[in-house]
Structure 1
Amino acid sequence: MVPHLITALNGPINELEQRILESMPAIERWFRLEWMEHTPPFYTSVDVRNAGFKLAPVDTNLYPGGFNNLTPEMLPLAVQAAMAAIEKICPEAKNLLLVPEKHTRNTFYLSNVATLVRIFTQAGLNVRLGTLDETITEPTPLNLADGTTLTVEPLIRNRGRVMLKDFDPCTVLLNNDLSAGIPSVLENLHEQYLLPPLHAGWAVRRKTKHFAAYSNVAKKFAKLLGMDPWLIDPMFAGAGELNFADGTGIEALQSQTDALLTKIRRKYKEYGIQDKPFVIVKADAGTYGMGIMTVRDAKDLEALNRKARNKMSVIKDGQEVSEVIIQEGVPTNERVNDAVAEPVVYMMDRYVVGGFYRVHAERGVDENLNAPGASFVPLAFAESSQLPKPGEKPGVSAPNRFYMYGVIARLAMLAASYELEVTDPEAEIYA
């Protein structure tokens, strides 16, 4: 199934695509120099939105699920990237302890865990699964949709190390985003690598901090290409001290939303864009498509009904929302079989390893697609025959479009690297 890209054949996106392809050597050198100074997150997925007039990341996940949606052709790339990442951290690594999310009944998520096990096993590691679920007290098999099983085991803390019975790993890899807080069993580990670090979890991490770092990266990149950073950067504002249930802080949220919509209107006017701008209001911490709404007019926030307030007030693991990010809405101008779609790019270490389109037939171009009913269609850019082709007319070649998505996703990954440096509790100097 080939995604049908309906982006107009002229306008900013194609100019941007052409500029990126023409600047490929300079771009790759720029990334190489950045990675000499900064450490990429261990693995990352980035949701990208292509509006036709701008292309920007809207979410960056440092504990990506969904590896099961990558095609078999993409897995060798993932294995190579996993080898590079592990060699950098612990060259003599033999055992890897993978700690997944607790929701063990979600077979789609378990397929993601099984794919990660396969990737790291093929990278030369013994992989076992340890769970933070305290109700699991002995090795427990979990059934996958394809009839296979995974075994999760209770974590053991011994002499400052986290392990399983008869299994002492040098590296612990989290595929659990710590929305519910930082478990004591993972704190202050002795001579063990914990990836990603604890401050990458949603107990600490904030989207406003990430997008502030991304704005910094976008400005540098835009200067390199001689372009307006707005074309790749969603504007945003933060609002804290909020309680959707009792209405506390809604006035301040309205005010911030109105100010941001005014800024977006100005940009739309500058570029002759006829669309009506909107913003996405979402929890400043957390994922899973919870606690998200589309706002086209700040007055709409006054009239939120009880159902909408309840939906916004609690996210994953029952965490209450007290801070939100108000983000410029980037409409998606892409379709797969007439359904609205957005690309999601997967990276390990500093390498793009693949991705897919998140497709939702029941959602609009201005809505969150990470919701029940979404389906997934693989992207084509992991195949060796799909290298970008400089010189082709913009908007014609899917590999060129996918290369551009990979560039934007790597900018977001670099921003996550900046963000983790600034929020590192052990760092002596804060940027």
Structure 2
Amino acid sequence: MVPHLVTALSGPINELEQRILDATPVIERWFRLEWMEHTPPLYCSVDIRNAGFKLAPVDTNLYPDGWHNLSADVLPLAVQAAQAAIEKICPEARNLMIVPENGKPGSFYLASLARLQEIFRMAGLNVRFGSIDPAIKRSSTIALPDGETLTLEPAQRTRYRLGLKHFDPCTILLNNDLSAGAPGILEDLHEQYLLPPLQAGWSVRRKSRHFQCYEEVSKRFGKLLGIDPWLINPMFASCGEVDIREASGGECLRTNVDALLTKVRRKYKEYGINEKPFVVVKADQGTHGAGLLTVRDVKDLEPLLQKPRAKAAQIVPRGEVIIQEGVLTHERIHDAVAEPVVYMIDRYVVGGFYRVHAERGEDENLNAPGAHFVPLAFSSAAQLPKPGAKAGASAPNRFYMYGVIARLAMVAASYELEATDPELQSWSESPRTCRRPCAGCKTSDSDLKPCVAINMGAACA
């Protein structure tokens, strides 16, 4: 069942939607060629905001939980995508170990792990959970609300491999974002696939790097379709290390917030948008929507910066900070503000849900206590766009739009992981050979020009 949507749409989004629907063959070919050059993360989820005049991702999670919020109808899609991913990575795979978050798991997270286990078990793998939490010393079986059970075991490290007692996995799937850093137990594994790779953890990963990659992707995609990339891209600024307790930290915040708000105002004026622009200040690393500060005018920062330094530091994220253009969400479910979250395995959209919050406004963070989730049906006809339908009038068209934006974010994530891969770091200074002709190459497959690998992908030399 598709939830009823009440979406305040106006000119540009209809035009954008029609452009994307008309260009479906071109778009799908573009994605296909991207995946010939780049490896997608094994899985990810993308938070998307639909402002009516703009549709853009605001967060990309490479260790997604919430799998239990997907509709049961999309399970076949998820299983097929998992099968395709495993066949590509390790066709002979028999055993998969999932590494969950450290600490005592809550009921919602346990339900997500159970659904993830179900997906990969139906894909043909023996699936067990191995914890790297030093506090987990022995196996424990946990009862789930639906009557099923989940067994959590301590991971065991041999000289070169990681596994469980009497269980040697070919592939290790991390569902632990490594916020505290990559523990030694996960390093120097031989002949085992660790997915996502260690550099995807928050000890290395930065949101600013991801959105820098996404900005490059949106420019290329915008050129392909002949659209302004801003319509699908949230502008951002990076403030580096910020400590609000220091005077320099407050000045850095003022300067970057003012500059970004000025850019957004120019765009709003260009498109005749009467909404009040805003930016969101948040930590450049980490997840779960923590530590967000919404700013609509640089003057709004003054009362905060004039507070005692210790109190101000409790409100403004410390450390590396990203300042991101705020994107409104005009989606509604039963009069409550909603935003779509799209889930992918390998390069395939497998489902999603609406994050709904009755107590939050259209310019506020919805990933907060009090949110609930309404599954999106991405199966059968709901997954396929209807080019003949009027733009803005068809739920399948809207879902296809979500899927396109989410996949653009996944392409950006693949660029991001390549840019931080220790084994590929030297590629930025040395040429390599294309696997296929680049956009500007006029050569055949047997006579390709060398391409120079740069952080945002490959460009023809």
Q: 1:373 aligns with which of 347, 370, 373?
A: 370
Is 1:400 matched with 2:397? Answer: yes
* Alpha-carbon distance change, 140 to 294 in structure 1, aligned in 2, over 3 angstroms: same
Is 1:262 matched with 2:262? Answer: yes
Deviation at 1:169, TM superposition (A): 0.6
What's the counterpart of residue 211 of structure 1?
211
> SS of 1:254's equivalent?
helix
Contact 2:245 2:312 in 1 (8 A): no
Deviation at 1:135, TM superposition (A): 1.2
> SS of 1:303's equivalent?
helix
Percent sequence identity over aligned pairs = 69
Distance in 2 separating the partners of 1:70 and 1:241:
37
Name stretches of at least 5 consecutive residues in structure 1 with no aligned partner: 314-320
Contact 2:10 2:53 in 1 (8 A): no
What's the counterpart of residue 39 of structure 2?
39
Output one character per residue of 1:227-246: Cα deviation in whole Å (capped at 9) or x when no partner. Answer: 10000000000012212455
Q: TM-score with structure 2 length normalisation?
A: 0.89
Deviation at 1:385, TM superposition (A): 5.3
Is 1:147 matched with 2:147? Answer: yes
Contact 1:98 1:128 in 2 (8 A): yes
What's the counterpart of residue 314 of structure 2?
310
> SS of 2:5's equivalent?
coil
* Residue identity in the other structure for 2:119: I
Distance in 2 separating the partners of 1:407 and 1:120:
25
Distance in 1 separating the partners of 2:130 and 2:287:
22
Name stretches of at least 5 consecutive residues in structure 2 with no aligned partner: 429-453, 455-461
Report which of the two structures shows the higher radius of gyration computed on alpha carbons: 2
What's the counterpart of residue 28 of structure 2?
28
What's the counterpart of residue 351 of structure 2?
354
Contact 1:244 1:310 in 2 (8 A): no
Q: How many residues align?
A: 424
1:247-396 paired onto structure 2 within 5 Å = 249-304=249-304, 305=307, 309-313=313-317, 321-384=318-381, 386-396=383-393
> SS of 1:341's equivalent?
strand
* Residue identity in the other structure for 1:343: P
Deviation at 1:5, TM superposition (A): 3.3
* Residue identity in the other structure for 2:279: V
> SS of 1:290's equivalent?
coil
> SS of 1:241's equivalent?
strand
Q: After alignment, is 48-57 or 142-151 more displaced?
A: 142-151
* Residue identity in the other structure for 2:408: L
* Residue identity in the other structure for 1:148: E
Distance in 2 separating the partners of 1:358 and 1:103:
25
Output one character per residue of 1:31-72: Cα deviation in whole Å (capped at 9) or x when no partner. Answer: 001110000010010000000010000000100001100111
Is 1:159 matched with 2:159? Answer: yes
Distance in 2 separating the partners of 1:103 and 1:144:
17
* Alpha-carbon distance change, 308 to 331 in structure 1, aligned in 2, over 3 angstroms: farther
Deviation at 1:142, TM superposition (A): 2.2
Contact 1:3 1:335 in 2 (8 A): no
Deviation at 1:383, TM superposition (A): 3.3
Contact 1:43 1:347 in 2 (8 A): yes
Distance in 1 separating the partners of 2:70 and 2:200:
24
Contact 1:63 1:177 in 2 (8 A): yes
What's the counterpart of residue 429 of structure 1?
427
Deviation at 1:201, TM superposition (A): 0.7
Deviation at 1:297, TM superposition (A): 1.3
Deviation at 1:180, TM superposition (A): 1.2
1:41-190 paired onto structure 2 within 5 Å = 41-190=41-190
Q: TM-score with structure 1 length normalisation?
A: 0.95
* Residue identity in the other structure for 1:205: R
Q: After alignment, is 292-301 or 120-129 more displaced?
A: 292-301
